[in-house]
Structure 1
C-alpha cells in the first residue's frame, strides 16, 4: 500500500476506533471527569463530532479554493456554549460516523495530486491536504486515548468507592 493509501485507511478507521473506545460507556461514566479542568467522555465525543463538521468544510476548501486560510476555533468555548454536557452521545457518535464516512468517500475519489494542494492553517502555518488529513487522524487518535484514560480513571474511582 502506498503512503497515501495508508493515510486514507487510517482516516477511514477513525469512526471504528471511536465506536470501540465508547462501547459500553453509559450512565455516570459518560459525565465523569478525572479532574475539574478535564473533559468527560460525552464532551470528548461531542467535540469530535463538531470538529469533524469543521473538517468537512476545511477539506472542501482545500480541494476547491486556492491556498485557503483555515481558521482555528476554541474547543473549550464550543464545549461550554454548545452545551456538550447535555448533548446525546448517541447523536454525536452518529454525526461523527456520518461525517467521517462522507469525508472519506470524497477523499478516496481524489487524484493523488489533490493531496498536494496547499492551504494555510491560521495557527500552524502552511499545510497541504495530506497534512490536514494526517492532522484529522492524529486528532481523533489522541482523543480516543483520552477517552480510554477517562474510562480507566472512572473504573478506578468506582473500585475505590466500592472498596471504601
Structure 2
C-alpha cells in the first residue's frame, strides 16, 4: 500500500497542480480522488454488499467530488498521509474478514449483478489505472520541463 504514496513524494508545488491539458487531472486531484474512492466507493461498497446483500448501493458521483470536496484547495502532503491512513484501515478491515462470501451481490441498474468480489477486483484495477495515470503525469511533466529529448528512455 506504499506504492501510490511513494510515487507522490517529493513533488514540487508546481508539479502537484500541473495538467497536460486544461480538462485533464493533476496529481493533486488524483490523490484526492483516490481518498474519496477509498472511503466512499470501494471500501464502502464492498462492505455494504457483504453486510447487506441484495440491497442497492447508494449512488455516487466521483466527478462532482472534485468541486464538492474542493480538491484544488487541499494540502497535497496531508492528502498523501490521509490516503495511507485510509488504505491501512481498508487493509485491516479486509484482513479481519472471516471467510467472506465474495459472491454476495445486488442488481445494479446499469451494470447488472455486482458481487462483493467484483468490487474487490475493481478496487485493485482502479489502483492500477491511477498508478499508470500518476506515472504518465510525471513523465509528461518531465518531458515538458526537460531540455533533453527523452526518446532514448523509450516511447510511452
State the TM-score, normalized to the length of structure 2. Answer: 0.83
Unaligned runs of 5+ in 2: 149-156
Unaligned runs of 5+ in 1: 1-14
RMSD: 1.9
Are the structure 2 counterparts of residues 120 and 23 from structure 1 closer, same or farther at C-alpha, using a change threshold of 3 Å? farther
User: 1 or 2 for the larger relative contact order (CA 8 Å, sep ≥6)?
Assistant: 1
Residue 66, structure 1, aligned to residue 53, structure 2: yes
Tell me the number of residue pairs that the alignment of Structure 1 and Structure 2 aligns. 147
State how far apart, in whole Å, the 2-side matches of 1:121 and 1:44 are: 26
- Could you say which residue in structure 1 is the equivalent of 2:154? none
**Residue 34 (structure 1) shift:** 0.7
- Could you say which residue in structure 1 is the equivalent of 2:78? 91
Q: Secondary structure at the match of 1:115?
A: coil
**Residue 160 (structure 1) shift:** 4.6
Q: Secondary structure at the match of 1:112?
A: coil
State how far apart, in whole Å, the 1-side matches of 2:111 and 2:98 are: 25
Residue 48, structure 1, aligned to residue 40, structure 2: no
- Could you say which residue in structure 2 is the equivalent of 1:11? none
- Could you say which residue in structure 1 is the equivalent of 2:105? 118
